[in-house]
Amino acid sequence: MSRRAERHRRIGIACVLGALLLFPAVAAFADGGDSAPPFSLQTLDGKTVTRDSLKGKVVLLDFWATWCGPCLKALPELKDLRQKNAGQPLVIVSVSVDEDKKTVQEFASRNGMDWPQAWDGQMKAVSAFRVDSFPSYVILDSESRITYRQKGWAPGSSAAALGAAVTRALESVHKATVKTLASTR
């Protein structure tokens, strides 16, 4: 191998290693459609959100924390995803694992997080959904089946993958509605 080719190979390896150090790994995968575990989350505004209360809608569970750098960087993308799907049967529920509920309340208010915010200080939902890194996202279809999981965040690519998974889940809701309407005629 020429000196120039060897140099390019080393630069390429250095770039890949640098990217891995700068951006946490993202693992995304379609799930087998298992039913979501039963859960009950208390939102910051005092309401209760359960698996059964969300049935019929696509649910994006956003597991995050105020101390999680990638979670904070992903916030604009989450807001954009919500805005793009306004009027759709999509519910985003952010589930914070911060130690202090007041910290979450202040952060959510200050950062315009005006969708349901839950505090999971005892990590019950985190445990039920087997979340082991932040941010992590879980998408439930309208029948409360887990259709997608994503661990970690990387600029652009995470939002694209999450957006595509939400779109697929919403399409399944629309197909089921059309099928139901057709069968009633």
pLDDT of residue 182: 58
pLDDT of 177 higher than 50: yes
For position 6, what pLDDT does the model report?
A: 47
pLDDT at 172: 83
pLDDT value at residue 86: 96
pTM for this model (two decimals): 0.80
25-183 domain in CATH 3.40.30.10?
Answer: yes
Q: What is the pLDDT of residue 173?
A: 83
Q: Where are the beta strands (DSSP E) in the chain?
A: 27-30, 40-42, 48-50, 58-64, 90-96, 117-119, 136-140, 146-151
- pLDDT of 67: 97
Beta strands in 33-151 (DSSP E): 40-42, 48-50, 58-64, 90-96, 117-119, 136-140, 146-151
Q: What is the mean pLDDT of residues 25-33?
A: 53
- Give the whole-angstrom CA distance, residue 59 versus residue 138: 8
Residue 19 has pLDDT above 50, yes or no: no
Average pLDDT over the chain reads 84
What are the tens digits of pLDDT across the range 91-143? Answer: 999 999 999 999 999 999 999 999 999 999 889 999 999 999 999 999 999 99
Q: What percent of the chain has pLDDT over 90?
A: 72
Whether pLDDT at 66 is above 60: yes
- The residue among 152 and 23 whose pLDDT is bigger is 152
Of 175, 138, 158, whose CA–CA distance to 31 is shortest? 138
Residue of higher predicted confidence among 7 and 99: 99
Query: 77: closest CA among 176, 183, 154, 165?
Result: 154
Please measure the distance between the N-terminal and C-terminal CA atoms of the chain and give it in whole angstroms. 71
